[in-house]
Amino acid sequence: MSERTEFGPGRPVVLRGGTVLPMDDRRQVLTHTDVLIVDDRIAAVGPDLPVPEGTVVIDATDGIVMPGMIDTHRHMWQTAMRGYGADWTLTQYFVWYYLEHGKLFRPEDVYAGNLLAAIEAVDSGVTTVVDWSHGLQTVDHADAAADALQSVPGRFVLAYGNIQQPPAEWTGAPEFRDFISRRITGDDMFGFQIAFDVTGDPAFPEKAAFEVARELGVAVTTHAGVWGATGDDGIKLMHDHGFMTPETVYVHAASLSADSYHRIAATGGSISVSTESEQSAGQGYPPTWAIRAHDIPVSLSMDTSVWWSGDLFSAMRTTLGADRSREHMQAQAKGDTVTHGSLRADQVVDWATRGGARALGRDHELGSIEAGKKADVVLIKNEHSPVSFPLLNPFGHVAFQAQRGDVHTVIVNGRVVKHEHRLVDVDLAAARRRIEQTVDHLRSTMGEEAWQKGMNPDIPETTILDNPYTYTDYHSSSTHSQ
C-alpha cells in the first residue's frame, strides 16, 4: 500500500508548466501550460493559473500532459496467463481458450485476471478499458469480473460475453437480466456492452441477442473481419436486419470487403484496431489504410496480454509502423517511392484518446483536455530517462519515444491513482497472490505436459533457399586471403 496521503478526496490538483496536448480539433500543442483539476472535472487550462488554497501541485515541467488513453478492446481475464501465448496463432488461441481450457477458469480466476489487467491499465495511463469479457460462463464469473474492475480506480466498460454458449442462449437467460439490474446502475465509472461474434450462418442465430441489446439500449461489440472466423456475411446480416448502429464497435475489421466498410461507414459505427494482435495472430493486415479510405472512426486496443503488452504506446507505435509498411510496399511493388507518409503521429495519439471516447459515445466528456471535461489525465515525464529530451515533437514523442515507464502521474475522474511512477492505494502484492493461485490451479488441472505443449506450439520447418554464393566457396576464399 502506498503511504501517500496528500491526495485527499476533494483536494484540487494542478499540473504546472507542462506541454499539454488537449487533443482538440486543431491538434494544438500548449507549452508552459497548467491544468487545474477540481473534483472530477478539469476546471481550467492555461498559463500560470490561480488555484484554490490547498491545491496539490504536480510539477509537469519537461513533461507531456495528455488525456488518459482509452482501450476499446481487451480480454482482461486473459491477463492471468500473461505472455503464455507469445508464439500462438489465432488457431492455437481458439483451440486453447474456446475448445480445450477456457472452461477451467473459475470465477476467482476471472477475478484475478481482471484485477491485474485493470491495475496494469491504470499504471500505463490507460484510464478507460472495454473489457471484452467472453469468459463469463456463469453469472458468478460475471460478478467476479465486475467486482475486480470496480476494485481498481479506473474507468471500465464490462462487455459481457460467453464463448461457452450461443449468444442467443446466454443473453436470453433470466440470470443475465438479473445481473444487469443488480450491477449496471448507470455508474459513470462502470459501463456495459454486450460482446459476441456473428458467424455469418444464413439462419442468423445471433438475431435474438441483437434484439436483447436493442431492447436494453446497450451497444454491441463484435469481432468482425477476422480471417477464417467472421467476415462480410456477418456484416450483411447485421445490416439487413438493422443492427448496425453508431454505438456498434467492430473489432479488427481486417479482412472485409469494400462493401462491408461502406456499410460500417454509412451506419456510423467505429472500428477498434488491435495492430499488435492483427500482426501476429492473423485476423488480416492491420486495416487503418482501408479504414482511412472509407472515413470510418478508429479507436485502438491491445486485445489480450496472453500475447501482447497492455499499453497503448505499443498500439500507437505498431499502428504507425503497419500503416507505413504497407504504404511503402504497395508503392514499391509498382516501382514508386513514397515521399510523404499518409498516417501521422498526431493521428494515432488522437485514436488512442479521443477516438476511444468517440467509440464509446463519450466524446463530450472524455478523451480530451478542456475545461468542464472529466479529469482523466496523464503526465508523461521521466527525469531519469535519456529519452525524455529534447521534447521537439510531442505527438511523435508520445507515439515513438515514450513508454509505460515514463508514465509519471495518472488521474482518473479527478483522483490521483499514480504519482511519481508509483501506483497510489493499489495492493499489487494481493493481486500477485491471486494470480499465483490461478496459475497453480490451471497448471495442475491441465497437467505439466499439456501446459508446456500449449505454451510451445510446433514450429513449421523452414525451407532454406538454395544460395548460389555457397558458404563453402566463401569460406575457402576467405581462408586463402589470410
* H/E stretch holding 56: strand 56-59
Q: Which is nearer to Zn ion, 51 or 163 (CB)?
A: 163
Q: Which is nearer to Zn ion, 51 or 322 (CB)?
A: 322
* H/E stretch holding 261: helix 258-267
Angle at 181 between CA 175 and CA 183, to 5 degrees: 95
Helices (H), 37-126: 90-93, 107-123
DSSP structure class, residue 404? G
146 in Cβ contact with 190 (< 8 Å): yes
396, 277, 196, 240 alpha-carbon torsion, rounded to 10°: 70
44 in Cβ contact with 15 (< 8 Å): no
Distance CA 422, CA 420 (A): 6
Q: CA torsion sign, 343 to 345 to 347 to 348?
A: positive
| Residue 282 C-beta: closest distance to Zn ion, Å | 13
CA 334 → CA 76, 287, 327, 330, 377, distances in Å?
42, 21, 11, 7, 45
Q: Which is nearer to Zn ion, 232 or 303 (CB)?
A: 303
Q: Which is nearer to Zn ion, 161 or 394 (CB)?
A: 161
| Residue 109 C-beta: closest distance to Zn ion, Å | 18
| Residue 413 C-beta: closest distance to Zn ion, Å | 26
| Residue 129 C-beta: closest distance to Zn ion, Å | 13
| Residue 252 C-beta: closest distance to Zn ion, Å | 7
**Number of residues assigned to the chain:** 482
CA 72 → CA 194, 195, 315, distances in Å?
13, 12, 12
Q: Which residues of the chain form contacts with Zn ion (CB under 5 A)? A: 303
Angle of helix 107-123 relative to helix 139-150, nearest 10 degrees?
Answer: 30
Q: Which is nearer to Zn ion, 301 or 401 (CB)?
A: 301
Q: Which is nearer to Zn ion, 225 or 394 (CB)?
A: 225
Q: Which is nearer to Zn ion, 197 or 247 (CB)?
A: 197
| Residue 195 C-beta: closest distance to Zn ion, Å | 9
**Closest residue to Zn ion using C-beta atoms:** 303
| Residue 277 C-beta: closest distance to Zn ion, Å | 7
DSSP structure class, residue 400? I
Helices (H), 128-231: 139-150, 167-171, 174-183, 207-216
E strands, 373-442, where?
377-380, 407-412, 415-419, 422-423
Q: Which is nearer to Zn ion, 19 or 274 (CB)?
A: 274
| Residue 224 C-beta: closest distance to Zn ion, Å | 11
Q: Which is nearer to Zn ion, 79 or 401 (CB)?
A: 79
| Residue 120 C-beta: closest distance to Zn ion, Å | 17
> How far from chain centre, in Å, is Cα 279?
15
